[in-house]
Amino acid sequence: MIELTDIAYVRSGAADLDTAVRFAVDIVGMELTAQENGVAYLRADQRHHCLALVEGESGVISSGFTVRDEDALAAAETELEKAGVTVARGSAEEARSRRVRDFLSFDDPFGNRVDLVIDQVTLTAPVRHGREAGITEFGHLCLDAPDVREAYRFWNGLFNARVSDWIGDWACLMRIDQVHHKLAVFQGSQPGLCHINFQVDSLDDVMRNWHFLEANGVEIEMGPGRHPQSTAVFVYFKGPEGITYEYSWGVRLITDEDAWRPRYFDPAEPGSIDMWQGPTRRVHTQPQIRRPLPGRPATGSEG
């Protein structure tokens, strides 16, 4: 089994790079750590970046997860190939662009591009937030797939992802550590990035951010509300290039693996998405860009 240790980053194409960067810094509150070779690196915590905006075609390029070390990466390569998944190792230049020591890429069964990385660069300096949004960390990422049950079979069959809760056949919320979910898959007709989440320090931060977003004419997609699954108070909002961002606070930790049983929420029931029963809707997904796998093909694989 491939053990994911954390989420790493999202790499996203931006047709208007300057506008996307300004929004990420001035509105979301991230720090621009570097900009080179058409890539803007944005930071929210100790990672060098959790969002890389790449000048060019709009759309999500890849979503990154960390594994323990080079042995774990090699073992993941072998397991994926045995499962019939085409894998490619990134080049040194591509690894440098991702600020990792090494990585491999593959597509999930629905076309979402995934990077597995080792030794993501850590920065020691405190985060210089673009504004005081209260962000404490890059919290989770969510992908789209037409069949969330099949998606779960993939992530649970090959990886250490465990379902925390189901929202009908509409969403599968998965954990790789004690956090209720670091990865979720939502039902969508095409692969893509459903949203990226940033944890904030307090309930007050969620509410202040909501008022700030409204005052600055940002489209609120959903919230403020509270998810009954994770207990997190949330607000979702739409940024440039079709990226949906989320602030949340108060996420549930699952500390007793043996005692936890996944629950099933019917999205048609009141309060199943927002226990405060505010208006809910499907947030915008940034479509997956379809490209050949980067770098050199792994041994025994194609492409």
pLDDT at 294: 73
d(CA 181, CA 300): 33
Q: What is the pLDDT of residue 257?
A: 96
Ramachandran category for residue 17: left, alpha or beta (phi over 0 → left; psi -120 to 50 → alpha):
alpha
Distance CA 292, CA 270 (A): 43
CA 99/CA 41 separation, integer angstroms: 10
| pLDDT tens readout for residues 100-137 | 999 999 999 999 999 999 999 999 999 999 999 999 99
CA atoms within 13 A on the CB side of 289: 21
Q: Do 113 and 61 touch, CB atoms closer than 8 A?
A: yes
For residues 186 and 193, give the distance between their C-alpha atoms in angstroms, rounded to a whole number: 9
Mean per-residue pLDDT over the chain, rounded: 96
User: Would you state the pLDDT for residue 296?
Assistant: 54
Q: What percent of the chain has pLDDT over 90?
A: 96
The answer on pLDDT for 295 being more than 70 is: no
Q: What is the pLDDT of residues 59-73, one digit of tens each?
A: 999 999 999 999 999
Please write the tens of the pLDDT for every residue from 187-200.
999 999 999 999 99
For 21, the token pair is 């960067």
pLDDT band at 303 (very low <50, low <70, confident <90, very high): very low
What number is the average pLDDT over the span 35-52? 98
How many Cβ atoms from other residues are within 10 Å of residue 29's Cβ? 22
C-beta of residue 156 within 8 angstroms of C-beta of residue 163: yes
Tokens of 273: 């998405």
At residue 301, does pLDDT exceed 50? no
Return the percentage of the chain with pLDDT > 70, whole number.
97
Tens of pLDDT, residue by residue over 253-276, are 999 999 999 999 999 999 999 999
Please calculate the CA angle 182-254-179 and round it to the nearest 5 degrees: 20
CA atoms within 13 A on the CB side of 295: 23
Q: Report how many helices (DSSP H) and strands (DSSP E) the chain contains, helices first.
A: 5, 19
